[in-house]
Structure 1
Amino acid sequence: MKISKESVSKYINKSVLNKHGFYGLIILCVMFFTSCKMEKEKASTLPNIILILADDLGYGDLRSYNDHSLVPTPNLDKLASEGISFTNAYCPVSVCTPSRYALMTGTYPFRSWKKSGVLANYEPSMISEGQLTLPKMLQEAGYTTAGFGKWHLGATFPTLDGLKPAGYGQFKSKNNGENIDLSKPIKNGPVDKGFENWYGFSCASECWVMEGNDIVAALQHEFYNINAAKGKEHIEIIPSNEYLKLLTKKSIAFLSQRFRSPDKSPFFLYFAPYVPHIPLSVSDEFIGKTKAGTYGDYVAELDSKIGEILDTLESSDQKDNTIIIFASDNGSQFERTGLHINNANPSNDLVDVQGKNNGTDEHHPNGNLKGSKWTIWEGGVRMPFIVKWADKIPSGVKSDKLFALNDVMATLGALVNYDLPENVAIDSYDQSLNFLGKENNIRNTVVVQSSNGQMGLRKGDWKYIQPNENELQGQLYNLAEDESESNDLINEHFELGEEMKKELLEITSNTYSKNQNK
């Protein structure tokens, strides 16, 4: 029986403390403290969780996924050799905000107020008031939660004049930060959504870095600045090529503190660096380290920093009781990189980075998949997804089962014995059996989406893409035979295309229940 503090308080307030009431109070208190002790003991046996989410890293960047990769990724390759790698895992949107929403809520982003694209500067939280999040779920399960890096799910910033922040709804504004009140805390950010500890920015183009709810620093960005801001004397300016190092240092400090702490409650570490997103802010010591150009150098640096975090875990007594998850929020924006290709200062625009050749001196971040970030193609929505849990997950296994980033919430919920309510994480499936190598077809379909809202449906070997404004009919591909989506079979299999079109509409409707998809 679980007794709450509220129950004890209520009993004390009602009790007249006669002889029977006094003894009843003593019994209730004993039950309460026994319950607390049992809850602590239960929590201490739960696995720790480290979730690493790269930013714009492609399916073909890791050598464990792409034999032809020109980027050395020894730490992530080692992680793959010690765990399970999913080869049909999806974001499920080809840009960061909606994919992070799917991860944090277990819900497709088209069900939120933001139907497509990413959040612009200072827009409010994409997560509804009271909506359960992944870190909040783990917090309720007894975890100490911490996040470092990138949020990009919205927050409410205080202003000096009570008006909306300058540049609201834009990605670049000359007067960015002009009326931000840097002396007051933000609201509805990572801390209010479940992170007890947070250090990082909400949106890179805002520049502001928060520690907890307080604005303490700003990212020195090539494209954006805070020149117009007032009262920023206490604000630390972080060079963009030092940000990854700083996040790594803070993540390691958090782990070290947890390992030393007498409090043995489990921890959840969310490491979400701004890498290899543009600008390609590579540290000096990694410039020229790969044959894949500046982009490849940045991926190699990310791999190195992930290695430092994993080494910290490996040297602790918690290494065997920690689940490690690695994923990317969407595909790479680059279709090709190399020493002969200048990717140093690309714009955040698809037309600047399209095209690939077959030369051995080229690196293809998305492998042989078609497309890139922003697009509906596999190169935009398919991601590397690796999970390790010593002695629980088989080593070196590759799974072709369908998986979506929104499944993380239900899966971890099952692994930590948290019962999700029926109306929570409605697009999240418990894939714990697949994590453990049992190979079950848990998910039948995945809805995928481009940055402009075009949708598709992956079902079995098939992928249907709805027509855009310039098309009369959709597209259909057999990914088992045509992973690069080069042969549209909509005319040959028109009925199948119509069936998948209907199913896509059913899933995206407001009346949809995930029980229909089992």
Structure 2
Amino acid sequence: MLTGCAMLAVMLVQGQQRKPNIIFILADDLGYGNVSAYNSKSPVRTPNIDRLGQEGIRFTDFYAGTTVCAPSRCALLTGKHMGHAYIRGNTRLPLRTQDSTVAQLLQQNGYRTGMFGKWGLGEAGTTGSPEVKGFDAFYGYLNQQHAHNYYTDYLFELKEGQIRKVPRDTSIYTQDEIQQHALTFIRANKDKPFFLFLPFTLPHAELAPPTADMQPFLHEDGSSKLGPETPYERKKGTYRNQPLPHAAFAAMVSKLDRNVGEIVALVKQLGLDNNTYIFFTSDNGPHKEGGGDPVFFDSNGPLKGVKRDLYEGGIRVPMLVRAPGKVSAGQVSSIQWAFWDILPTLTTLTHSATLSGIDGLSYVEALNGNKPARQHDYFYWQFNEGGLQEVVLQEDWKLIRFKQRGSAERFELYHLSDDIGEVHDLAAEYPQKVKALAKLMKASKSPAAHTEFDWSAVEQ
């Protein structure tokens, strides 16, 4: 029989060997400047999100997979940028059988895997459905169009290996149910390693939060504390009318922040905080749909552009990582990395098998505040709605290419360390730099595997 001291020693060794838990929170259309840690002028404070960086590390130069939902999430989960990913645009196409995800890799390493929120990479019965892409539990939306409705009469749930459509009370805000599923998952798996992916829908339109969430932003007479409001009236699409869009958006950001705080509090309450990494980021830049007003909220901070742009405001996103005991508190890092680095970073962090043939690199050293031994020489993005936009970023030099069908290509060149707002186009002054980066751009992409993302038509 072990003595008390010997038993303690065994427990300590076992605790050291236990695989770390991973909670990855992905906001939807939250701008770089919507997090107050990145923007002191933001009219909505985000103290709980800010605290992740205060207790861990905040990255200033982190990038989404691209500037809209589905392809950005594809890059995040598969480790491939838009030059090689299967899904390169907003679509309802599913991931293929051969498109492995980080959830599958962690699941194969003994992790209990859960996802609650918006998936967007495959519907029930397809090769991209959550249960075949590595998740043991799921509750939420399968496609992004359905996720525009926060009061839908159904969602999808994964139970006993099967995805089922489940009816729900339309008086309840979907985010409230999604949050409760997330908290329940943490409680149920506190004694085993888990990977919790939380692709929340906040603060994506529609701007229709519960009345209780809007109250802090309203005067007693029901008017907005954020000043005169211009009502949003639906002209097309599915978003409902919103008489107070500024107050509604503020309420959604504030609710997102509270939900993050509840997750962190539960992790601490369960004694998991010294073995749990909590990541927080956004899938792309801020939206201006359904009454969204990125100008009023200074949603991109010092950056130019919003969702659907490849300027910095469309692709540079907040990234805060909390891991007490593993990251010195309050660090700020300007290391450049991107969504496609998440897969190899998490597999390295969890000692899981990883994938060959991906674009991502492990940035585990960056999570500890150190410079990674291996970093990208350059980064590549693509966006192909209504024409082709491409970007190559190499250190501080950023080249953007625009190509419309039947017209000549056009380039813009920026030096970000001197011009983070991308005000001064230097393409005419540095033609050799344009030529060199355009060569990298061409080498960064392979032909799209699906005709929906084939750029050859606009190259004519």
Counterpart of 2:156 in structure 1: which amino acid?
Answer: M
1:68 to 27, 31, 41: 41
Tell me if structure 2 keeps the 8 A contact 1:135–1:268. Answer: yes
Counterparts of 1:490 and 1:109 in 2: how far apart (Å)? 24
Do residues 214 (structure 1) and 163 (structure 2) align? Answer: yes
Partners of 1:73 and 1:154 in 2: how far apart? Answer: 32
Counterpart CA distance in 1 for 2:256 and 2:294 is 25
Q: 2:81 aligns with which of 90, 108, 130?
A: 108
Q: Which range is displaced more, 58-67 or 127-136?
A: 127-136
Cα deviation, 1:303-339, whole Å, max 9, x if unaligned, reads 01111111111111211100110010001113xxxxx
Distance change in 2, residues 1:110/1:283 (3 Å): farther
**1:322 matches 2:276:** yes
The answer for the alignment partner of 1:119 in structure 2 is 91
Match in the other structure for 1:58: 31
**Percent pairwise identity:** 30
1:350-376: CA deviations, max 9, x gaps?
Answer: xxx6884xxxxx321111211110111
What is the distance in 1 between the residues matched to 2:105 and 2:285? 28
Q: Distance in 1 between matches of 2:294 and 2:118?
A: 29
Alpha-carbon separation, structure 1, partners of 2:294 and 2:123: 36
Instruction: Provide the C-alpha distance between the structure 2 equivalents of 1:147 and 1:471, rounded to a whole number of angstroms.
Output: 44
Q: Mind listing any 5+ residue stretches in structure 1 that lack a counterpart?
A: 1-40, 158-185, 218-234, 335-342, 347-352, 357-361, 512-518
Aligned residue for 2:177? 246
What does residue 198 of structure 1 align with? 138
Question: Which shifted more, 96-105 or 203-212?
Answer: 203-212
1:302 counterpart residue number: 256
Match of 2:101 in 1: 133
- Letter of the aligned partner of 2:284 in structure 1? N
Task: State the match for 1:93 in structure 2.
Answer: 66
RMSD of aligned C-alpha atoms? 2.3
SS in 1 for 2:403: coil
The residue that corresponds to 1:506 in the other structure is 443
The amino acid that maps onto 2:91 is: L
Amino acid at match of 1:449: Q
The DSSP-based 3-state class of the residue aligned with 2:321 is: strand
Structure showing greater Rg:
1
Partner of 2:397: 462
Change (3 A) 1:427 1:71: same
Asked whether 1:273 is paired with 2:200, we answer yes
State which of 384, 402, 417 in structure 1 corresponds to 2:351: 417
Q: Is the 8 A contact 1:370 1:377 kept in 2?
A: yes
Q: 1:43 Cα deviation (Å)?
A: 10
Partner of 2:381: 448
Give the TM-score, by structure 1 length.
0.72
Instruction: Count residues in correspondence.
Output: 395
What is residue 360 of structure 2 aligned with on the other side?
A: 428
**For 1:48 and 1:369, how far apart are their aligned partners in 2?**
33
1:487 deviates by 0.6
| 8 A Cα contact 1:216 1:236, kept in partner | no
Q: Contact 2:380 / 2:391 at 8 angstroms: preserved in 1?
A: yes
Maintained 8 Å contact 2:65/2:76: no
Distance in 2 separating the partners of 1:401 and 1:503: 21
Cα separation, partners in 2 of 1:102 and 1:258, compared to 1, 3 Å = same
Q: Distance in 2 between matches of 1:321 and 1:496?
A: 45
Deviations 1:375-410 (A, max 9, x none): 111111110011111111121111111110111110
How many angstroms does 1:420 deviate by? 1.9
Which segment drifts farther, 441-450 or 303-312?
A: 441-450
Distance in 2 (alpha carbons) for counterparts of 1:473 and 1:187: 38
Q: CA deviation at 1:110?
A: 4.1
SS in 2 for 1:287: helix
Per-residue displacement from partner, 1:211-263 (whole Å, max 9, x unpaired)?
Answer: 1133333xxxxxxxxxxxxxxxxx22445x6111111111111111122xxxx
Question: Which residue in 1 is equivalent to 2:411?
Answer: 474
Q: Note if contact 1:43-1:141 (Cα within 8 Å) is conserved in structure 2.
A: no
> Which of the residues 129, 136, 157 maps onto 1:189?
129
Check the 8 A contact 1:92/1:447 in 2, yes or no.
Answer: no
State the distance in 1 between where 2:294 and 2:47 align: 28
What TM-score comes out, normalization by structure 2 length?
A: 0.81
